[in-house]
Amino acid sequence: MTQPKRLIWPLVLLCLAALPLVNADSYLRHVVIVALLYASLVSSWNLTLGVAGLFNFGHMAFFAIGAYAAAITTQTFGLSPWIGFPIAIASSLVASIVVCLPVLRLKGIYVVLVTFAFGQLCYQVVLNQRDITGGTFGIVSIPPLELFGYSFAEKLNLGYYYAALLLLVLSTAYVKRLIASEFGRSVIALRDNETYAVSRGVAAAQNRLLIFAASGLFPGAVGALYAFYVRSASPDLFGFSLITLGLSMLLVGGIGTLWGPLIGAAVLTVVSELMADLGPARYLVIAVMIVAVLRFFPGGLAGAGPLLARLFRRATGKPQEQEP
């Protein structure tokens, strides 16, 4: 059983890497790029919301900050996009640490409210500082990424495709190592039983700050790549809709698991694109999906395999295994 399981993900990666060789359709290319970007974005959100159990609803704001940081560096100040990248990552890292400081003292619903309020604060500042951020119109005609005179937009955005894939591989490897590390296990212990974890010597505040910082790296990178790819940054990135969409990816895929958010991002992007003709009606479907998953499949798609296996065993009358 372990052998085929281990092969699935390298196979998926191989298919994704080979896809541009067989695909000449610009629309499909775009959908896959968007799905790859979402996958890195929500799997880093999963670190705070899922793995650490911290009610962080500011993650999409970190992403938007990354996009704006990249846009301002390159469009407003005319610097190279390759300088935009580290600046975007640094900005979203700083933002996540700033948000985390008040969160360290708070619990439950207060954490949700502070992180929401932070996003709204950023949104208002972006609207205010029209000279720098373009106000409600956002920043447009951001320069594209180039490397050795080769534009990433050439050959149906081939450069962006591989950049997004590389980012996803990096972020997944990063999340996987982080969860398996001693630090990751401390964070999970804090989530599952804070009193016990603290009594065993896990430093609660320090671990929370670190996991926030750890999850704040990738939204900046994804934001920058997104801004260079669509060549704009708009204040809509701070809106409720993006938060809800990201949330639906985490929930549908399986919150707190390693592969769940990736599956969720792929499924939701495809479903959302298939329903593109419906206009706003597709958001009704997504909203229903969120509630249905919370109600009937709290584990999401990542939990569907074990669930099916259990149902199968029950149906065939074989003795049930104890849940680990």
Partner 1 sequence: MDWIDSILAAAQPILVSGIVLASLYALMATGLALVWNTLGIFNFSHGIFMTLGAFVAWQFADARGYGLGLSVGIAVSVAALAGLGVLFNRVLIAPFLGRKDIVLVAVMTTLAGAFFLENSALLTWGPRIKQLERILPGNIKLMGSAISLHEFLIVILAPLVLLALWAFLKWTRPGSAIRAVGQNRDSALLLGIRVNAIYALTFAISAALAGGAGVLLGAIRFITPTMGTEPLLKAFIVVILGGLGSFGGTIVSAYLVGFMEAISTYFFGAYWTQAVMFGLFIVILVALPRGLMGRD
Is there binding between residue 277 and partner 1 (CB under 8 A)?
no
CA distance 139 to 68: 8
Long-range pairs of 289-298 with CB within 8 A, sequence gap ≥ 24: 289/248, 289/252, 290/244, 290/247, 290/248, 290/251, 290/252, 293/251, 293/252, 294/251
The region of 87-95, 106-114, 162-170, 214-222 touching partner 1 under the rule CB under 8 A is 106-114
Distance, C-alpha 244 to centroid of its chain: 12
The region of 35-43, 87-95, 177-185, 245-253 touching partner 1 under the rule CB under 8 A is 245-253
Is there binding between residue 112 and partner 1 (CB under 8 A)?
yes
Is there binding between residue 193 and partner 1 (CB under 8 A)?
no
The region of 7-15, 113-121, 205-213, 220-228 touching partner 1 under the rule CB under 8 A is 113-121
CA distance 291 to 258: 22
Strand (E) or helix (H) holding 270: helix 260-274
Is there binding between residue 290 and partner 1 (CB under 8 A)?
yes
If we measure between CA atoms, which residue out of 202, 252, 206, 285 comes closest to residue 38? 252
Q: How far is the CB of 248 from partner 1 (least distance, A)?
A: 8
Q: Which of residues 43-62 bind partner 1 (CB under 8 A)?
A: 55, 57
Q: How far is the CB of 138 from partner 1 (least distance, A)?
A: 16
* For the chain, the helix, strand and coil percentages under 3-state DSSP, each to the nearest 5: 80, 0, 20
The region of 14-22, 136-144, 151-159, 275-283 touching partner 1 under the rule CB under 8 A is 275-283
Which is it for strands 232-233 and 146-147: parallel, antiparallel or unpaired?
unpaired
Using CB under 8 A as the criterion, which residues of the chain lie in contact with partner 1 when the complex forms? 55, 57, 102, 105-106, 108-110, 112-114, 116-118, 120-121, 124-125, 127-128, 240-241, 243-244, 247-248, 251, 279-281, 283-284, 286-288, 290-291, 294-295
